[in-house]
Structure formats: C-alpha cells, structure tokens
C-alpha cells in the first residue's frame, strides 16, 4: 500500500494576545485537517509577536518548560483529537537556559521529542542571541504515524548542512517554521526570493519535499518594525513549488514573485515510496565523498 502523506503549510497574522493566537492556530489546524492534511506546520513562535526585535529581560518570563508550554499542551490534545502530526514551535526554558524550540507531536498526541534551534541570528530586528542559547539537541528526525520527518527552525533554513544532516538521518520531508520579513534598517529590501530559493535548493539537493510556514503582518516594538512577508509554500523533491499561500497561480514550478499577504493554508500530497525510489535513482547519497569535504 502506498505511503501517502498530505502536508499543510499554514500562514497567520499574529496579535499581541497569546490566547487569541493559540485559538487562531487551533482553528487553522482544524481547517487544514478537514481539507485532508495529516501533517500540519505552524509558523515560528506563533504564541506572540516576534519579540526579538528588542532586548528586554521581562520577555524571558514568556519561556516555559516543555511540560508547561501552552502551545505544546493545547496542540497535543488537538493532534490526538484530529489524528494529525503537528511540529510545534515554542519558547522553552530549561533551568537557566532558554531555547527557540520545536516539539514534534505525533498523531496520538505524544510528544516524540524536542529540537532546539541550532543557528541563532543576531542583527537589527532579529536579536535572537539575547534570548536563545544555541541548541544542544543536534538535528533531529522522528518516526511519526505518517513518515520519518525532519524539522529545523527559521535561520537554520539558510544552512545546507542542516538539511543534509536531516536527510542523511532518513528524513522523508523537511519542515521549517519561520518568522522573517523586512529589514528594519532598510525597509526597501526584501529577502523573500533568496529565502525561498535557499530552501528549494535543499529540496533539490536532497531530493526531499520541503514545507515552510511564515507569518504575515506588521509588528512594531519601540523603534523597530518588521513587515512579515508570508510566502509560505510546499515544494516537491526537485525544488519545484507545488503550492503557496497567497499565490493566485504558479508557473512551471516557480515561486510566485509577490504572493498576497493573506492568512490561509495549502495542502499537498506525496507518495513517500515514490519519492524514495526517485531519490535513490539519482544516486546523490551513493556518490557522496565525505572524506573530501
């Protein structure tokens, strides 16, 4: 019997009210599940606005241990109810350390494990090094009900080593929750095409589908403001864009040059056994020369 996975990339505008954000997350997960998705990706740190635009010690209070995380606890119950897999981003506290983390929740509501973001950015508007320690888990993949899945977080998506590491561990689909938008010091610049093409390269180089979810909306903290550009998408294993939130149409597997900034989701099915056969046929893992790298 074919192993068919139906993945969803979601896209939301986040508010200053964590309870409202959790309710919005639950609603869009329910909608995606009703549309047939069995693995549904939410965006990075969706519980609140992206607070890393400024450095304030009181925001550390928003971090919680895994067992006390509202996003993880609420969505674990929802995953069990709907029978879906949910990679869930959350702000994690572990003793005196704080991490930008992801819990992989299986379709029975079990938390299979936690990945902690490995690459931590530090620049205007994206001051994550103030809040997050570098992840100490290494890259992770999990055997879920619907396949062996890998997940990394935002800035990780710019590093081919992360994608290749997960692929070498047997990941059949890669998931990247994200929070990225304009540059506060140069609002005229957009990294959107570069951002997306980097992940499309990971799909093509590793011959695995990629799912990326980003937020939308403008968030202002003090003197810093970011407009998040969305563009959430699902790519095939050859780096072709198969579905994208806000794209009126897609041509020849290419990104939409300027997708609408809208809330929503897209769903795409993959036959994982066919993907595996195609991946093996290309021979890119057979022909690797790690001793030269």
- Does 140 participate in catalysis according to the annotation? no
Annotated active-site residue in 6, 24, 117, 140: 117
Q: Which residues on adjacent β-strands are paired with residue 87?
A: 104
- Does 154 participate in catalysis according to the annotation? yes
Q: Which residues on adjacent β-strands are paired with residue 244?
A: 233
User: 3-state SS of the chain?
Assistant: CCCEEEEEEEECECCCCHHHHHHHHHHHHHHHHHCCCCEEECCCCCCCCCHHHCCCHHHHHHCECHHHCHHHHHHHHHHHHHCCEEEEEEEEEECCEEEEEEEEECCCCCEEEEEECCCCCCECCECHHHCCCCCCCCCCEEEECCEEEEECCHHHHHCHHHHHHHHHCCCCEEEEECCCECECCECCCCCHHHHHHHHHHHHHHHCCCEEEECCEEEEEECCEEEEEECCCEEECCCCCEEEECCCCCCCCCCCCCCCCCCCEEEEEEEEHHHHHHHHHHHCCCCCCCHHHC
Cα gap 288→267, rounded to integer Å: 33
Annotated active-site residue in 26, 140, 154, 275: 154
Annotated active-site residue in 44, 47, 92, 172: 44
Measured CA to CA in angstroms, residue 192 lies from 43, 238, 247 at distances of 16, 20, 14
- Does 44 participate in catalysis according to the annotation? yes
Cα gap 113→97, rounded to integer Å: 18
User: Are the C-beta atoms of residues 178 and 214 closer than 8 Å to each other?
Assistant: yes
State both tokens at 192.
Answer: 């959107």
Active-site residues: which are they?
Answer: 44, 117, 154
């Amino acid at each position: 019997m074919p192993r068919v996975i139906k993945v969803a990339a979601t896209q939301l505008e986040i508010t200053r009210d964590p309870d409202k954000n959790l309710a919005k997350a639950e609603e869009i997960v329910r909608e995606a599940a009703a549309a047939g998705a069995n693995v549904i990706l939410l965006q990075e740190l969706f519980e609140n606005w992206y607070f890393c635009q400024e450095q304030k010690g009181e925001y550390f209070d928003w971090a919680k241990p895994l067992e006390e995380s509202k996003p993880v606890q609420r969505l674990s119950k929802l995953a069990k109810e709907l029978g879906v897999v949910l990679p869930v981003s959350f702000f994690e506290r572990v003793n005196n350390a704080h991490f930008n983390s992801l819990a992989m929740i299986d379709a029975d509501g079990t938390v299979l494990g936690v990945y902690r973001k490995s690459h931590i950015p530090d620049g205007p508007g994206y001051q994550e090094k103030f809040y997050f320690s570098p992840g100490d888990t290494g890259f992770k993949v999990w055997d879920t009900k619907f396949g062996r899945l890998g997940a990394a977080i935002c800035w990780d998506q710019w590093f081919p080593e992360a994608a290749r590491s997960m692929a070498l561990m047997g990941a059949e689909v890669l998931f990247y929750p994200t929070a990225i938008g304009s540059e506060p010091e140069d609002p005229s610049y957009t990294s959107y095409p570069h951002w997306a093409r980097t992940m499309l390269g990971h799909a093509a180089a590793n011959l695995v589908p990629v799912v990326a979810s980003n937020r939308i909306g403008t968030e202002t903290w003090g003197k810093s403001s970011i407009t998040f550009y969305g563009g959430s998408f699902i790519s095939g294993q050859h780096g072709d864009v198969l579905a994208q939130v806000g794209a009126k149409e897609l041509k020849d597997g290419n990104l939409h040059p300027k997708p609408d900034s809208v809330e929503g989701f897209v769903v795409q099915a993959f036959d994982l056994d066919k993907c595996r056969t195609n991946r093996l046929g290309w021979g890119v893992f057979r022909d690797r020369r790690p001793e030269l790298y």
